[in-house]
Amino acid sequence: MLPPRILRRLVLAPLVIVVTVFMVVTLPFWLVVTAAASLRLPPPQRRGARFVWFGVAWLTLEPAVLIACLWLWVAGGARLQDRHYGLIEWFLSQVYAAAVRIFRLAVDIEEPELTEEERAARLNRPIIVLSRHAGPGDSFLLIYHLLARYRRRPRIVMKAALQYDPSLDVVINRLPNAFVPRKSGQGHIVEEIRRLAATMSDRDALVIFPEGGNFTPRRRRLAIRRLEEKGLAAEAERARGMDHLLPPRPNGAIAAIEACPSADVIFVAHTGLDDLITLGDVWRKLPVSAHITAKWWRVPADAIPGGREERIDWLYDHWEQIDAWIRAQRLASTA
């Protein structure tokens, strides 16, 4: 069970500062330990030191964010959203820069070609972002690019356990987001999505991961079985045709569209680190140079089908398009 907010503020926030100081002081020890642990990996894959450097970089940013949040609170700016979005953008830009330096991360984004009229119009309405969920840090990268590259203010429904991270706990709770407990029912999650979507303005972006979790073959099999048990034979058959994605759960996306009918929908596909699911996978398989390829496309609000069944078919159509794109990317990388 998550501790009460006052306890998190009084215990976890100071604790992260203590841990940061401890890690910085004992950094040589951790470099030696991880280097020794990496000896069991092939020489090109010995990445222990890189993990330590990235962890220390992340930890040193945490106190900086907490101090900035305290200053905003003292200055009376705790409710000023733009300043907090700017703080999140700064934090994620530093994390992104660290990943580029330490893991040689490269992100290539394939964007649709827009006319000048379309380019101007795209910032005049809210958007609902429907993204696949796979690989380490994909949600952080998506939020970073929405803020830094597209000048959007993201809203997202997250697991309540993320509030154990003090900086996330403070900043995200000051913005229109939602934390949901692990055992929350689908109905509660959908209502939170509806609440966030209903108050969006032209600069806002509601981020939804319709799969509900990272892809694994086991989760795919279980998801197809659940569709069959519910009597959704057509959806189960379409899900069997997708090798790289979990079948989308339509309720959240439909609730967002209903709550904000003026919003365009953005579909996001990405691949590159899909096989890295657990921390063990990241430790053993993270390549020397991490490369992520992404693609997005927009569906205008007036092109979204009106009926529920039509919207479910429409969502599966785009999910099949993402699956086909991932398949093509993997074939190209092995050619």
DSSP string, 175-231: SS-EEE-TT--HHHHHHHHHHHHHT--TTEEEEE-TTSS---HHHHHHHHHHHHHTT
Q: So what's the pLDDT on residue 285?
A: 67
CA distance 135 to 215: 8
Least confident segment among 15-19, 191-195, 213-217, 221-225: 213-217
For residue range 5-38, what is the model confidence (pLDDT) as tens digits?
Answer: 888 888 988 899 999 999 999 988 888 888 777 6
Q: What percentage of the chain exceeds 90 in pLDDT?
A: 59
For residue range 68-111, what is the model confidence (pLDDT) as tens digits?
Answer: 998 888 877 656 888 999 999 999 999 999 999 988 889 999 98
pLDDT band at 46 (very low <50, low <70, confident <90, very high): low
282, pLDDT greater than 80 = no
278, pLDDT greater than 90 = no
Q: Please tell me the pTM assigned to this model.
A: 0.91
187, pLDDT greater than 70 = yes
* Tokens (6 digits) for 241: 């045709």
Residue 114 is which amino acid? L
CA distance 274 to 259: 32
